[in-house]
Amino acid sequence: MGNTAAFFDIDGTLYRDSLMVEHFKKLIKYDIIDQKAWFEHARDTFMDWDKRQGNYDDYLLEVCDLYVESLIGLDKTCIDFTSDQVIKLKSDRVYKYTRSRIKWHLDQGHKVIFISGSPNFLVEKMAKKYSVTDFIGSNYVFENEVFNGTVIPMWDSSSKNTAIDNFIKKYDIDLSKSYAYGDTNGDINMLKRVGNPIAINPTKELLSQIYNDDTISECAQIIVERKDIIYSLEPNVNIFDI
């Protein structure tokens, strides 16, 4: 019998926003990068999402492109300093449900693994704070301690699949009794591969995929946390006419 694992996405699943966006804001606050790029390119997409007229994934993808471009040429020491500030000031801004599940899995002796599209240098610090077994994030490549603009992503389903395959071999994991927690389309394959998939505050796109796939709709849990209330919803209820 293999080990039980719990795979957690971070942004929107544990953390109540995006670690990458928080880091972007810190870089702007400390005048390390020019805020003009944000206001000229990302503001409108953000406002559309904030008014519930746009897609959150579209907003994040646009911000990610700006973020990567803005980091090119920055020294790793500078990036580490601002990353430390993000974790120090923002890492407790998490969902109560997810935080409690991490503790429960660790208490059970399960392998707790973070798989996130956020930069690895942020994911590593978050993993250390929550004492998880292992982690992987998007790999930002540095040459001579300077970011060269190359990113090996971990925000798509294909990349997360490959990461899970590697963790299975590393920790002898039995997926049939394992858990996965996610909130967007990038997490769908991760959720489909385990015996206990949990969608936390899922996007409409993810919820639609779960609803239309019998292999996951029969076993998935849908968790919605708002204010200090946690709701558990049936995944087979059609809410897409709203």
Q: What is the DSSP letter of 42?
A: I
Residue 240 belongs to a domain? no
- For residues 106 and 8, the answer to whether their CB atoms sit within 8 Å is no
DSSP states of 108-139: TT-EEEEEEEEEHHHHHHHHHHTT-SEEEEEE
**pLDDT-based confidence at residue 213 (cuts at 50, 70, 90):** confident
Q: Do residues 130 and 111 lie in contact, with contact meaning Cβ atoms separated by under 8 Å?
A: no
User: Using CA atoms, how far apart are residues 222 and 207, in angstroms rounded to an integer?
Assistant: 9
Helix (H, G, I), strand (E, B) or coil at 233: strand
Instruction: Give the alpha-carbon dihedral of 50, 24, 133, 230, to 10 degrees.
Output: -20
Comparison of pLDDT for 225 and 214, the residue scoring more? 225
* Whole-number Å distance between alpha carbons of 8 and 98: 9
pLDDT at 204: 85
d(CA 74, CA 92): 27
Is 50 exceeded by the pLDDT of residue 6?
yes
Number of structural domains, the chain? 1
In a domain, 241, yes or no: no
Q: What pLDDT score does 197 carry? A: 96
> What CATH number did the domain enclosing 25 receive?
3.40.50.1000
Residue 75 lies in a domain: yes
Most confident range, picked from 27-31, 76-80, 159-163 = 76-80
The rounded distance, in Å, linking the Cα atoms of 158 and 147 is 25
In a domain, 78, yes or no: yes
Q: Is residue 242 part of a domain?
A: no
Residue type, 220: A
Spatial CA neighbour of 113 closest among 164, 185, 172, 158: 164
Token match 């409108």: residue? Answer: 44
Range(s) of the domain holding residue 97:
5-233
Using pLDDT thresholds of 50, 70 and 90, give the confidence band for residue 159: confident
Rounded to the nearest angstrom, the gap between the alpha carbon of residue 162 and the centroid of all alpha carbons in its chain is 16
Find the angle CA(8)-CA(10)-CA(16) to the nearest 5 degrees.
Answer: 130
CB 213 within 8 A of CB 194: no
Please indicate, yes or no, if residue 238 is contained in any of the structural domains. Answer: no
Q: In angstroms, rounded to a whole number, what is the distance separating the alpha carbons of residues 55 and 57?
A: 5
Task: Judge whether 239 lies within some domain.
Answer: no
- Over residues 15-26, the mean pLDDT reads 90
pLDDT at 37 over 80: no
Confidence band of 196 (pLDDT split at 50, 70, 90): very high
- What percentage of the chain has pLDDT greater than the value 90? 61
The answer as to whether 141 is a domain residue is yes
Confidence of residue 221 (pLDDT cuts 50, 70, 90): very high
